[in-house]
C-alpha cells in the first residue's frame, strides 16, 4: 500500500505541548517573555481589509530589514515558515550523498536525520569530544557531501567560537556547502554571518522562534552568498510551499525593529541561565556550559528519565532524550525568574 520511500521514514517527535493541565513549561526552548510591544501594535493597527490579498511572496520588506540589521545585501536573504521549512529546502538543494554522506554531530537537532530519510540522503554522525563539544577536526577528517551543525549545538547548548568556525571554513572544500544552524546564537554566540562574503559555500540559518519570542508565528530565515540564496528560491518556488503570511511578515518586521526589547529580553534569559546553572551545580549536578536559552544538565543521583518524571509530577516540564549517551541529562529551557525558582524548588523535592 505504501511506497518504499514512506516505509523508510522515522518521523520527528516534537516536544510535548500538553493541554491537560498547566505546567511550568521548560521543554521546548520557547522564550519566556512576550514579543516586542511593537508586534502587538503592528497587528492591532493592521487594516484587516488587506487580508483579502495574497502576501508578498518573497516578503521583500522583511528581507530588506533583515539584510540591513545584519549588514548584508537583500539578495543574501530568504525567509521561510520557520527555520524548519528553510532547512527542508537546504537539504534538498545542497546535500547529495552520491558525493559522500552528509555530516552532522552525533548528538544534535533530531530533525536532521529525519530530513535525510525524507530526501534519501545518506548521513554520518560525527562523534563529539568527551566534553560534548563539536569537534571541527573530526568533520575535516571525513569526506562528506556537506556539513550541518547547530551553533550553539542542541541539546548540549555548547558553542563553537567564530574563530573555530572560520578555521573550519578555511579548510573545508569550496564546492561543498556548510550550514550553520544558528537557532540559539543570540544568547551568547558570535554569528557566522560575518563570514558569508568570504565563503560563498557557507549558509547561516536563523529563527524568530527563540530570541524574538515568535515561535507561534513560524518565521525563519537564511543568509548566504547570492548563489546559495538563489538555489533556495529555486527549491522554494518548485514546491507547493506557502509564502510567509502577511501578518507574520508584519510581526517579524516589528520584532526585529525593536533592538532595545531584543537586547533586554535576551540579557534577562542569559542572566537567568547563569543563575540556574550555578544553582544546579551547587546541588551537585553536572551542567554543560551553555550559550543557549536552555541548559543540559544531569542530577548526581538519578538518570534523566527519573528527573523528567519527578519534575513532571510536580508540574514542571523539561525534555528527556532517550538516546544512548544522553540519558544522564535533561534539557531545561530557561524561563522567567519565577519559573526558574519553581524549577529549583522542584529539584530539591525530587
Binding site for ligand PMP (CB under 6 A): 82-84, 109, 150, 154, 181, 183, 207, 209, 215, 220
> Smaller CB distance to ligand PMP: residue 153 or 277?
153
Residue 183 vs 299, nearer CB to ligand PMP: 183
Closest to 297 measured CA to CA, from 132, 81, 104, 69: 132
Shortest Cβ distance from residue 247 to ligand PMP (Å)?
17
| Cell digits of residue 146 | 556537506
Q: How far is the CB of 154 from ligand PMP (least distance, A)?
A: 4
C-alpha cell at 58: 518573497
Q: How far is the CB of 63 from ligand PMP (least distance, A)?
A: 16
C-alpha 16, offset from chain centre: 17
- Minimum CB distance to ligand PMP smaller for 319 or for 346: 319
Kindly tell me which of 221 and 299 has the beta carbon lying closer to ligand PMP. Answer: 221
Chain-centroid distance of CA 147 in Å reads 16
Shortest distance, position 8 Cβ to ligand PMP, whole Å: 23
Q: Quick check: 55 and 46 in contact, CB under 8 A? A: no
Distance of alpha carbon 339 from the chain centroid? 22
Our CB check for ligand PMP shows the closer of 206 and 346 to be: 206
Query: DSSP secondary structure string, 245-306?
Result: PHHHHHHHHHHHH-HHHHHHHHHHHHHHHHHHHHHHHHTT-EE----SSEEEEE-SSS-HHH
Closest CB to ligand PMP among residues 153, 346: 153
Read off the C-alpha cell for 31.
522564550
Cell 538516546 locates to: 323
Tell me how long the chain is. Answer: 350
Instruction: Tell me whether residue 183 or residue 346 sits nearer to ligand PMP (CB atom).
Output: 183
Neighbours of 114 (CB within 10 A): 19
Q: Which is nearer to ligand PMP, 15 or 55 (CB)?
A: 15
Report whether 21 contacts 314 (CB < 8 A).
no
For the CB of residue 208, give the shortest distance to ligand PMP in the complex, in Å.
Answer: 7
Residue 325's region, left for phi above 0, alpha for psi from -120 to 50, else beta, is left
CB of 174 to ligand PMP, least distance (A): 25
Which residue intervals of the chain are DSSP H helices?
A: 4-7, 37-44, 60-70, 82-94, 111-119, 136-140, 162-171, 226-236, 246-257, 259-282, 304-313, 337-348
Distance CA 136, CA 7 (A): 34
Minimum CB distance to ligand PMP smaller for 31 or for 346? 31
At closest approach, how far in Å is the CB of 333 from ligand PMP?
Answer: 11
Give least dist CB 152 to ligand PMP, A.
9
Give the shortest CB-219-to-ligand PMP separation in angstroms: 7
Amino acid at each position: 500500500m505504501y511506497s518504499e520511500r514512506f516505509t523508510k521514514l522515522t518521523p520527528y517527535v516534537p516536544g510535548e505541548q500538553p493541554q491537560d493541565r498547566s505546567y511550568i513549561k521548560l521543554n521546548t526552548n520557547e522564550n519566556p517573555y512576550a514579543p516586542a510591544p511593537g508586534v502587538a501594535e503592528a497587528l492591532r493597527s493592521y487594516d484587516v481589509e488587506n487580508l483579502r490579498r495574497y502576501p508578498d511572496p518573497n516578503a521583500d520588506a522583511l528581507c530588506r530589514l533583515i539584510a540591513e540589521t545584519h549588514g548584508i545585501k537583500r539578495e543574501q536573504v530568504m525567509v521561510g515558515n520557520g527555520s524548519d521549512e528553510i532547512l527542508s529546502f537546504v537539504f534538498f538543494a545542497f546535500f547529495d550523498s552520491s558525493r559522500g554522506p552528509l555530516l552532522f554531530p552525533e548528538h544534535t537537532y533530531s530533525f536532521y536525520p529525519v530530513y535525510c530519510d525524507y530526501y534519501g540522503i545518506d548521513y554520518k554522525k560525527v562523534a563529539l569530544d568527551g566534553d560534548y563539544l563539536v569537534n571541527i577536526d573530526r568533520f575535516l577528517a571525513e569526506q562528506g557531501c556537506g556539513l550541518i551543525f547547530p551553533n550553539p549545538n542542541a541539546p548540549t547548548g555548547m558553542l563553537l567560537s567564530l574563530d573555530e568556525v572560520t578555521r573550519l571554513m578555511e579548510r573545508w572544500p569550496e564546492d561543498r556547502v556548510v550550514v550553520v544552524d544558528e537557532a540559539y546564537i543570540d544568547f551568547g554566540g558570535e554569528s557566522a554571518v560575518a563570514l558569508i562574503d568570504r565563503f560563498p559555500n557557507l549558509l547561516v540559518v536563523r529563527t524568530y522562534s527563540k530570541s524574538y519570542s515568535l515561535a507561534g508565528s513560524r518565521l525563519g530565515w537564511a543568509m548566504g552568498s547570492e548563489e546559495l540564496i538563489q538555489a533556495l528560491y529555486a527549491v522554494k518556488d518548485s514546491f507547493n510551499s506557502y509564502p510567509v503570511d502577511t501578518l507574520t511578515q508584519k510581526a517579524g518586521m516589528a520584532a526585529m525593529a525593536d533592538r532595545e526589547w531584543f537586547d533586554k529580553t535576551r540579557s534577562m534569559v542569559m542572566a537567568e541561565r547563569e543563575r540556574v546553572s550555578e544553582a544546579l551545580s551547587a546541588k551537585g549536578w553536572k551542567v554543560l556550559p551553555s550559550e543557549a536559552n536552555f541548559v543540559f544538565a544531569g542530577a548526581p543521583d538519578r538518570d534523566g528519565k527519573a528527573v523528567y518524571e519527578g519534575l513532571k509530577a510536580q508540574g514542571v516540564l523539561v525534555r528527556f532524550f532517550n538516546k544512548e549517551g544522553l540519558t544522564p541529562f535533561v534539557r531545561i529551557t530557561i524561563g522567567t525568574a519565577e519559573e526558574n525558582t519553581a524549577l529549583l524548588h522542584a529539584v530539591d523535592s525530587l
